[in-house]
Structure 1
Amino acid sequence: MIKKRKAECLQETDERRQTRRDENDSHQPSAKDHACCMTTETGYTTAPAKQNRGPTSSHTSSSASSRPSSTSRKSTARPKTTQPSCWPSAFQNLSRTHRALNLVYTFCCTRKHFATTFEGIKSAVEAQTGGRPLTVEDVAKIKVLIPRAVRFETVDAGVVDVMSVPEARANKLRQYWDDWEVEGMGRDPDDEAQQEGGRKDEVLLFEFVDGDLRRERSNGTTDQKMWEEELSLPVYDSKHMLNLIEKRNKKFSDAIDAFLTRCQEEGVDPVAKLEIEKDMYLPVSGSSGTNTPAAAKLPPQIPKERKSIAEIIAEIQEQEWYTGQIVPNGHRIFDAQQPVYGELRFQLSQNVVNALYNTKGITQLYSHQAEAINNLHDGHDVIVSTSTSSGKSLIYQIPMLCELEKDPQSRGMYIFPTKALAQDQRRNMQELMQYMDGLEYTMIETFDGDTPMQQRNSIRDEARIIFTNPDMLHITILPQESSWRTFLKNLKFVVVDELHVYNGLFGSHVAFIMRRLRRVCASLGNHNVRFVSCSATVANPEEHMKTIFGVDKVKLTDIDGSPSGRKEFLCWNTPYKDPGDPSSGRDNSMVETARLFCQVILRGARVIAFCRVRKQCEILLNTIRDQFHALDRSNVSKFVMGYRGGYSPQDRRQIEREMFEGKLLGIVATSALELGVDIGSLDAVITHGFPYSISNFRQQSGRAGRRNKDSLSILVGDRYPTDQHYMRNPHELFTKPNCELQVDLENELVLEGHLQCAAFEMPIHPEKDAEYFGHQLAHLAPSRLMRDSMGFYHCHERFRPQPARCVQIRDVEQQHYAVIDTTNNRNAVIEEIEDRRVSFSLYEGGIFLHQGHPYMVKELNTDRRFARVVRVQVDWTTSQRDYTDVDPIETEAIRRINGTSNCRAFFGSIKIHTVVYGYFKIDKRRRILDAVVLDHPPIDILSKGMWLDVPKQALEILASHNLNAAAAIHAAEHAVMSLLPTYVISSPGDVRTECKAGLKEFKGFPSKLPDKGYEDRLPRPRRQRPARLTFYDAKGGAAGSGISSKAFEFVDSLLCRAVARIESCACNTPRGCVECVCDEQCPELSVVTSKAGAGVVLKTLLGMEIDVDALPWGEGQMGTRAQKHFGSSAVDGGEGRELPAGLETIIEAVEIRGKPGGVKVYE
């Protein structure tokens, strides 16, 4: 196979050999050339000088000291340029070798299933250099000069075999994997017994990593055939191919000039210097690590006492791969804060004092702790809004201990949003109880969905403190109030931790649950329950607590008296593949995050990395292992674990325990660890990609420095618009105000569900119970509940026998699939996956990641709800190919827009139709290795929503300026959704839209401008979408949540405000920013957006005048520029240009049929 590929590469390069020889001939020095050997100043196009380190405070270290060899690129002087003929002969020969490598590698890349191993391309390169042998040392010398542009390392031969699977064997893939498993690949790679049988086969892999080839689309064939050819046998743009070759050659020549100039300045022999430095880049066997400069600069062992954060940052900046990633003004320092203590206005018992000292070493309370406890003692309800790790839990632990001392029958209910938090706080309280004489055996238990049924009655009757969540209070405790009466009569404190979580629709549900709890307690004679809440720093904590609990006597404590160490924040932008060349696209942010993670850990710091979604968490874990391997520190990988939803509760508790006990050095997590689970002292937080909101970022950053030492927080910018906005404006991360929390108590759909639950718990009297359910109760009770002869109202029959189960308070799936690891007949369940995730995570032949390890899905059984997987060792992952269509199916109401416009807004039933139709195999450079078709049944969900059909006039204006219609519609939807909380109480994610993705909204472009009318002969996309803005309720099922219905009432104002928002935004980015048309919550990361296009759509809907001449022009519809932009930006999230118009998916919308029985019309 390899010989055949080499022959093909040689055949394709024949046409270029004469050109190369002509170039070499042209380099023969003439008299004039010799005169030119006198050095001259010229521009330098390789890695930029490291001038911008980003620190904005005098506390930060200055530029790192100059480094030796090729990494000393800080000099601002331009390198001197010499003719190649004046280079030392060793460098002339090395340049010829590089040219040959470049040529052969580039043409080999056009072969989809050809892995460029050193042995596989060696003879072809030697043929290009006239027979001069190609050695490993030659390639190492090339890497010395362009270290970021070349990958040259040993890899497992099995990985290369997979990359080289020919097309003819695609239909035998299942058997291929079966054979591979039998041969040993299916065994656990961590099994030491496997290593004893001998070292694995390894090969040398060579790659250029500074740019990828772009595909060229064929001009004939049917749509189906074109689609299949694109996936299986892509044709590459020959012009771009030659440009890429020449660009690399130029870059290497510049690198030689720069190297020779440095050697001249340092007074050293360049040949000798190159010979010495190449040893650092010689690849070695995977079993003995990789000899790299990065490894050489690391401590030989992980230090027990780490250096200061400032020193760690300085050392990282000295790494050869650092090229100014810290953005300007992106290094912030916050000085340490000394503790401020307070005094209680009452005396604690000696038991409580002893318990605090023996468990936590506490002899004094911080000022905020003392203030809040004093307020509770005075009978107030309390909200505490201070920083992470400020000791908030003592505020509700101490009063409960005091109550139990006075009355052992006292009860406490501690409510947490997650089971992990509840378990963590239960352990803390039990520890305190052990030092309380007479209370050592007090039952303190969790009461959640994992509590065994046989234990629930004893916990209900005997426990003095239960740790639970809103779901159990809603579904179990309140509906069974007759069994819980003893507990509820003696209830002294209700603690709701992490109050900021209860926002939007979820917050509305919890607010009514708390009112139901207060109502039941009051009916039992208990009017003195005190409520305690703790929250992250938010804009309106006091108001929010009053809304959630329906109470007025609330005291706010928000002055933090706890100490904190010095904190350093870095905004770290992923560099371009070719530094200084934005057209090359940004490099892999996962690799950048993994590098930082490893560098910090190996310097003795304990680290947590946060990812946005589960799959990113697993990919980052895998990448971290690769980095440790490259640094010859593979043994450290076992001290890093993942933590996310899907792992079993037992696994998660074990990970929490091992991190708390210091057995782990790092964790890679999703937002599951944003909330305050105590996992011990952390020194650094690394956030991969902007985490949806400013509050999320601040919550995550607060996890570091929990023990008063200096700490580090790094935000690694990905290539997407939202990330790049904060990389350009890092000050907003620290100066933007927190969003106000909002809870809607007027939402009748939510209120009715809880009225049915409350009426089931005990009959409702409209006049008396208006205190809990508001003025709407008077008209809802007669129409929604059942009245008895005494005037009381009871639960309606349609909600019986368990009304609480008819009211879902979270958007959570109840059923799961088991993922069974069958490696070596292990047959163990390693994860449970929710129904809604299965189609995207488990498909036969796909790679499923667990703790960063790849497993291949061998079987998916939908009847019995399980998937069988086997552990494999591969160098690629899979990504599902899917689309989601959001379509209205029935109109219930129509509202004319703006009075003067001919356009209308519609409300009614919405169908969300999701199809997973295949998957891509993707390597670590995000290149598609293969595409596989799947036949999965679609997933259909019904909801309620509103929609607005885009007028034909708007589409014509967009087309006239080559502005992309899909990008315009998507941006307009974002602009409207960003304003929903202004008119309708909601939180991000409560309302969703159909977000556009680059790979799904565009067809490609021919490499040359075709004749007029060519676009009419091209096949249209198979998936066509109506030109429509659609918004639907993400929760509430087919009946919706009521939020989009309220938005429908304010559609005029929403559209007008959206236009004003776009026009007032000062950004000059064609795709907009988070202040106008980019949404931090967008699942497609706001890649397909157009700020100008959104203005056209919204103004046309409002009947406003549009200045067509002032509109920007999109890229040429069919030109080479459009193709270039499509390849580098439309899919990958590039920056800075308008998306081109072309063969998008957008077509004119057709009006949806009305609901049988009539449609409401609002003029």
Structure 2
Amino acid sequence: MSGQPITGGEIEHVNNNGVQNGRVAIPEWLARDPAVVHVDHRAAVAGQQAPWPRWLPSRCVESIRSGGIERPWLHQVRVAELVHDHRHVAVCTPTASGKTLGYLMPIMAATLGAIQPCATLGATQPGANRRASAPSRQRQLSARAALGLSARPTALYLAPTKALAHDQQRVARSLGPAGWQVSALDGDSDPAERRLAREQASFVLTNPDMLHHSILPHHARWSRLLGSLGVVVVDEAHRYRGVFGAQVACVLRRLRRLCALYGADPVFVISSATASEAGASGAALIGEDGAVAVVDEDTSPHPARDVVLWRPQTETGTESARLMARLVDAGCQTIAFVASRAGSEVMAVRARELLHSASAIRSYRSGYLAQDRRMIEQDLQNGSVRGVCATNALELGVDITGMDAVLICGFPGTLAAMWQQAGRAGRGDHDALVVIFQRDDPLDAYLFDHPDLIFRAPVEKTVLFPHNPHVLGPQLAAAAQESPLASQDSRWFGPSMAGLCDGLCAAGLLRRRPTGWFWPRPERAVDAIDLRGTGGKPLDIVEDGPGTVIGQVSLEDADRTVFPGAVYLHQGEHYLVDEMLPDQRQALVHRERPGYVTQPRTLTQAHLMREDAHQAFGCTRMSVGDIELSTQVIGYLRRDEWSGQVWDENPLDLPVHTMVTKGVWWTVPHQLARRLEMTAVDLGNAAHAVEHTAIGLLPAFAPCDRWDIGGVSMVVHPDTGACTVIVHDGQPGGSGFARRGFEVADRWMGATLDRLTNCSCANGCPACIVSPKCGNANQHLDKDAGRTLLAAVLGRN
């Protein structure tokens, strides 16, 4: 049945609501729908258990059993044995496979017991499979003793979100013995909670931001934790990609360096439900030259799962809202993942209007206040909310188990994100129903035409460049403030360290001494580093009159979402933006539904600064290197709320934002343009069409989505003197995605030509050349000319 649409005749004992014995099967009405183009079926599988590790104390076994786990799965024991043997390990098994217990067992054994027999954590022992010699082990113990540090190991857990760290704290407390000191630490922790984590906790759960801003700069206060650190768990490791991944990789190198100064050598567990080449990616993340063991065989039981590809016959948002309402009416608890904040709000409103029951459907996205998010999470867990329309803010962070169905409204950019979202359905003994809706998008159309690229392809390799000088330079300054850098620290930061340090000296940010490089300034170096590239403290969105803060938006996104005159959606309510006050970190809004939505218009210019490399590309050449981008929101369109018809355009006078990033570009030779007999207007429209389609398809070859990248095309670019197409990273310094496009140029551009050639539309549509993020509202596009141009460049016409 794999890979075939399921007809109603293949489903037995399923009523019209699709509910059988409390489980979801594919409803007959869904199976018969002409929008269903493909179904991938996974049969239920049984689990394979293993004995408890012999070194695990009996009180730990008893506490885990009292938490409802009678015996571990085989892969959990494999992870535990590797960690206990002090080997770095990447565990890559699906959502709900029990990765947590795999690393909790050795952490419990070490942090609850005496240094023997579990001393392999925190300081290495001799042996064929261990990473340090006996003399090295003795030096580490002597260093800790000289500093007056405890011999009992500690452990650290890092999650990309606060919510996930708190959820893991709950799991650890439920499985661990009484008296085990487990503490969550984040920016919301009060002084007593911080003191507990610093002075008493054996297992501290936090996030990279807290490690970067608070623990490492004040490492002397945290010497008890760092000097005895035995295990570091890096959870949801696939999230650490691009610039954010490079920043976290540098933070982990700073952590390892300080641990070594205090005499500790922690073993790392890199955990992800979705990763490709997990060992190599994990090694790049933590800065390890040696091998990282990989556990990727899932031995836990799983229910049956059906993944349905749904090609809408009408508007995607309408059909997805209708399906959600029908599933919720049938008693199925359902999560719909939506690409945008506004989309999640609109879908929740539409689905509620279509319900025939009194079930609750909510929206969930970033920008909500913390207490509002926690309330929705709690209501979803206790079942009082039967449906939620969420952005990827709910993709991880809370343990929402046993969902009946997951709707994915448009391919979320990467296979890793798709399987992460799909993993919310069918946990425990609940069979899984996942429906993926094709969005009007080149990538979605391409994948739905080639479903094996979804169901038979490995997830994307993580793109990570921790040696990006825009990232590593400031991180070296932070490391130097923590403890002066010496030449041997290239062990942690790589061979480019010395040159970057000398450059920082020339800029007055470091000072060279015979023993190394020092931080000479009074301010904190870490405060100049924004790990997530969000522009610092967000803007509060304040409702005028009551003065209530209804949400938040990053400074980076403010110009495009809360500009004066914008329509802002929040939990189904419409607001008009009266003022944006970035200096005060506020946007003032009032409640009003004007009957239209707003779309910003941006102007982008790109200066080609430096070429890193080039290669032959058809009859021309493709280059990759540094570019300087200047972007400005210059106005906005008002579109009818229901039809999308443009009412008018309104100018705005907002500041110009400039950044240096990485881009890939190619030019159209003058002789080719003459041979094609295209006018300047035709050539510009063709290049613009190719640019849009290429941006839409790069996520098929790199772990990004179209919002991580951008593009510029010009009939005559001032730096090349020719028609030029540019695709660039969306983060300062580059994210690695443009470089990846350069590496796979032939396949990437071949897929671009295929989409321009085979899209069934007449003159261009969102499935090929129309982009939701076009700065000039998708004007000046020509699909046929774009196909002709790219085919000529590639020599395929």
2:144 is aligned to none
Return the match for 1:1035 from 731, 741, 747.
731
Return the match for 2:540 from 807, 813, 818.
818
The 5 A counterparts of 1:490-639 are: 490-527=228-265, 529-551=266-288, 552=290, 554-575=292-313, 587-628=314-355, 632-633=356-357, 635-636=358-359, 639=360
Return the match for 2:27 from 313, 317, 322.
313
Q: Does 1:750 align with 2:471?
A: yes
Q: In structure 2, do the counterparts of structure 1 residues 350 and 776 end up closer, same or farther at CA, with 3 Å as the change threshold?
A: same
2:786 is aligned to 1093
* DSSP-derived class of the 1:993 partner: strand
C-alpha separation between the residues in 2 aligned to 1:497 and 1:894? Answer: 34
C-alpha separation between the residues in 2 aligned to 1:599 and 1:920? Answer: 32
Q: Does 1:446 align with 2:189?
A: no
C-alpha separation between the residues in 2 aligned to 1:545 and 1:866? Answer: 39
Q: 1:374 is aligned with what amino acid?
A: E
1:775 is aligned to 495
1:853 is aligned to 573
**Which has a greater percent of strand?**
2
Q: Does 1:424 align with 2:167?
A: yes
1:913 is aligned to 631
Q: In structure 2, do the counterparts of structure 1 residues 1078 and 873 end up closer, same or farther at CA, with 3 Å as the change threshold?
A: closer
Q: In structure 2, do the counterparts of structure 1 residues 623 and 521 end up closer, same or farther at CA, with 3 Å as the change threshold?
A: same
Return the match for 1:366 from 73, 77, 92.
73
Give the superposition deviation at 1:644.
1.1
C-alpha separation between the residues in 2 aligned to 1:370 and 1:699? Answer: 23
Contact kept in structure 2, 1:880 and 1:916, CA below 8 Å: no
Give the superposition deviation at 1:882.
1.0
Give the superposition deviation at 1:419.
1.4
The C-alpha deviation readout for 1:188-213, integer Å capped at 9, x for no partner, is xxxxxxxxxxxxxxxxxxxxxxxxxx
Give the superposition deviation at 1:565.
0.7
C-alpha separation between the residues in 1 aligned to 2:747 and 2:387? Answer: 46
1:389 is aligned to 96
Q: In structure 2, do the counterparts of structure 1 residues 960 and 416 end up closer, same or farther at CA, with 3 Å as the change threshold?
A: same
The C-alpha deviation readout for 1:803-860, integer Å capped at 9, x for no partner, is 22233332212132222345xx644211012223233323555432112232344554
Contact kept in structure 2, 1:722 and 1:1079, CA below 8 Å: no
* DSSP-derived class of the 2:160 partner: coil
Contact kept in structure 1, 2:442 and 2:697, CA below 8 Å: no
**Which has a greater percent of helix?**
1
Q: Does 1:412 align with 2:155?
A: yes
C-alpha separation between the residues in 2 aligned to 1:644 and 1:59? Answer: 33
Q: In structure 2, do the counterparts of structure 1 residues 381 and 589 end up closer, same or farther at CA, with 3 Å as the change threshold?
A: same
Q: 2:601 is aligned with what amino acid?
A: D
Return the match for 2:658 from 941, 952, 955.
941
What TM-score, normalized by structure 1, do the two folds share? Answer: 0.58
1:1157 is aligned to none
The C-alpha deviation readout for 1:1057-1113, integer Å capped at 9, x for no partner, is 63575458894752779xxx979998459985758736736966xxx9x68xx4xxx
Q: In structure 2, do the counterparts of structure 1 residues 1070 and 1084 end up closer, same or farther at CA, with 3 Å as the change threshold?
A: farther
The C-alpha deviation readout for 1:530-574, integer Å capped at 9, x for no partner, is 211211232201122222223335322111011111101111111
The 5 A counterparts of 1:697-736 are: 697-736=418-457
The C-alpha deviation readout for 1:261-305, integer Å capped at 9, x for no partner, is xxxxxxxxxxxxxxxxxxxxxxxxxxxxxxxxxxxx987xx99x8
Q: Does 1:965 align with 2:684?
A: yes
Q: 1:943 is aligned with what amino acid?
A: V
Contact kept in structure 2, 1:968 and 1:1094, CA below 8 Å: no
Contact kept in structure 1, 2:632 and 2:654, CA below 8 Å: no
C-alpha separation between the residues in 2 aligned to 1:1081 and 1:374? Answer: 50
Q: Does 1:377 align with 2:84?
A: yes
2:516 is aligned to 793
Give the superposition deviation at 1:459.
3.2
Structure 1 vs Structure 2: percent identity of aligned residues?
25
Give the superposition deviation at 1:446.
2.4
The 5 A counterparts of 1:123-134 are: none
Contact kept in structure 1, 2:541 and 2:552, CA below 8 Å: yes
C-alpha separation between the residues in 2 aligned to 1:764 and 1:437? Answer: 42
* DSSP-derived class of the 1:665 partner: strand
Return the match for 2:105 from 389, 398, 409.
398
2:134 is aligned to none
Q: In structure 2, do the counterparts of structure 1 residues 782 and 906 end up closer, same or farther at CA, with 3 Å as the change threshold?
A: closer
Q: In structure 2, do the counterparts of structure 1 residues 916 and 596 end up closer, same or farther at CA, with 3 Å as the change threshold?
A: farther
C-alpha separation between the residues in 1 aligned to 2:41 and 2:782? Answer: 35
Contact kept in structure 2, 1:382 and 1:557, CA below 8 Å: yes
Contact kept in structure 2, 1:989 and 1:1034, CA below 8 Å: no
* DSSP-derived class of the 1:698 partner: helix
C-alpha separation between the residues in 2 aligned to 1:762 and 1:775? Answer: 19
Give the superposition deviation at 1:712.
0.3
Give the superposition deviation at 1:641.
1.5
* DSSP-derived class of the 1:62 partner: helix
Contact kept in structure 2, 1:383 and 1:555, CA below 8 Å: yes
1:878 is aligned to 597
* DSSP-derived class of the 1:700 partner: helix
Contact kept in structure 2, 1:445 and 1:466, CA below 8 Å: yes
Give the superposition deviation at 1:362.
0.8
Q: 2:36 is aligned with what amino acid?
A: I
2:411 is aligned to 690
The 5 A counterparts of 1:995-1006 are: none
C-alpha separation between the residues in 2 aligned to 1:921 and 1:971? Answer: 26
* DSSP-derived class of the 2:9 partner: coil
C-alpha separation between the residues in 2 aligned to 1:1098 and 1:800? Answer: 58
Q: In structure 2, do the counterparts of structure 1 residues 976 and 438 end up closer, same or farther at CA, with 3 Å as the change threshold?
A: closer
2:133 is aligned to none
Contact kept in structure 2, 1:660 and 1:681, CA below 8 Å: no
Contact kept in structure 2, 1:426 and 1:467, CA below 8 Å: yes
The C-alpha deviation readout for 1:126-179, integer Å capped at 9, x for no partner, is xxxxxxxxxxxxxxxxxxxxxxxxxxxxxxxxxxxxxxxxxxxxxxxxxxxxxx
C-alpha separation between the residues in 2 aligned to 1:1079 and 1:753? Answer: 39
C-alpha separation between the residues in 2 aligned to 1:681 and 1:387? Answer: 15
C-alpha separation between the residues in 1 aligned to 2:438 and 2:262? Answer: 55
2:710 is aligned to 993
The 5 A counterparts of 1:153-552 are: 308-310=23-25, 313-316=27-30, 322=33, 324-327=34-37, 330-359=38-67, 361-407=68-114, 410-433=153-176, 436-439=177-180, 442=181, 444-452=182-190, 456-527=194-265, 529-551=266-288, 552=290
Greater Rg by CA: 1
Q: In structure 2, do the counterparts of structure 1 residues 350 and 897 end up closer, same or farther at CA, with 3 Å as the change threshold?
A: closer
Q: 1:589 is aligned with what amino acid?
A: T
Contact kept in structure 1, 2:406 and 2:434, CA below 8 Å: yes
The 5 A counterparts of 1:760-771 are: 760-766=481-487, 768-771=488-491
Give the superposition deviation at 1:309.
2.8
Give the superposition deviation at 1:919.
3.2
C-alpha separation between the residues in 1 aligned to 2:448 and 2:302? Answer: 26
C-alpha separation between the residues in 2 aligned to 1:605 and 1:643? Answer: 18
Q: 2:540 is aligned with what amino acid?
A: A
Q: In structure 2, do the counterparts of structure 1 residues 488 and 903 end up closer, same or farther at CA, with 3 Å as the change threshold?
A: closer
Return the match for 1:658 from 376, 379, 385.
379
C-alpha separation between the residues in 2 aligned to 1:810 and 1:594? Answer: 32
Q: 2:574 is aligned with what amino acid?
A: P
How many residues get paired? 738
Q: Over the residues paired in the alignment, what is the CA RMSD in angstroms?
A: 4.1
Q: 1:992 is aligned with what amino acid?
A: I
Give the superposition deviation at 1:402.
1.9
C-alpha separation between the residues in 1 aligned to 2:504 and 2:392? Answer: 39
Contact kept in structure 2, 1:387 and 1:536, CA below 8 Å: yes
The C-alpha deviation readout for 1:967-992, integer Å capped at 9, x for no partner, is 4345258659978999xx99667973
